[in-house]
Amino acid sequence: EVYTYNIELPYGTSTVPTTTASTNYASANYVVNEATSLPGTTNVIVTAEDGITEKTYSVSFAIEKPSNDATLSDLKTNDITVPEFAPEVYTYNVELLSGTSTVPKTTASTNYTNASYVVNEATSLPGTTNVVVTAEDDLTEKTYSINFTFKTGIYSENHAKNSDISIYPNPATSIINLKINTDLFFSIMIFDTKGTCLYHKTDINAYKGFVKKINIKNFNKGIYYFKIITTDNTIVKKLVIE
């Protein structure tokens, strides 16, 4: 006994949906008058067996408003998610080894499928790469910026030893453990051989026997440099990921 229906179609739909029906009484018949465009209304006129009684069912088709979601679900440099990425954070600082000459490749993924983005890479280093995201509505834009700077003070492992710090297993595949055998306040950075910082954790308070697990499942196989910065020392250890 309900004769009017409202259906909302996805934004961008241009084809009128096909409407079919079934009558309660076998000898009744119906005619479908389809909407000629969208938005629009399709009418189904049902005529009873007596040829006189008619009822009309109407299906009104509307189009959803385009999404204004212009956020990212991921932001990567050289295929590694930038440290501490969050969709509502629009500025990031990535430190590269001093002397790096190649601008890291930046890629992204949008939260909403029909949003789009353009990467405007830094033209030199140090420099800034901007990712401009445009929502489905073609009006809403958000810009994510990655500021590439140089980090100085990277030394060879032979120049900075500390028996109170160990990393295992090495080589590693998915998880590495950083063990501290003394009270220590420090920061961690992991670099690839191109000088890109792929992991950065600051202001860690450790105690004797402290172990920190670091997930490296998303790292590519190869050689990396694990940097530990303390209040009075900097230690760099070579890390192999298999």
pLDDT digits 0-9 by tens, 68-108: 999 999 998 877 788 889 999 999 998 776 667 788 899 99
pLDDT digits 0-9 by tens, 159-191: 334 677 889 999 999 999 988 877 677 788 999
The mean per-residue pLDDT over the stretch 12-20 comes to: 95
SS3 per-residue string spanning the chain? CCCEEEEEECCCCCCCCCCCCCCCCCCCEEEEECCCCCCEEEEEEEECCCCCCEEEEEEEEEECCCCCCCCEEEEEECCEECCCCCCCCCEEEEEEECCCCCCCCEEEEECCCCCEEEEECCCCCCEEEEEEEECCCCCCEEEEEEEEEEECCCCCHHHCCCCCEEEECCCECCEEEEEECCCEEEEEEEEECCCEEEEEEEEEEECCCEEEEEECCCCCCEEEEEEEEECCCEEEEEEEEC
Q: Is the pLDDT of residue 207 over 70?
A: no
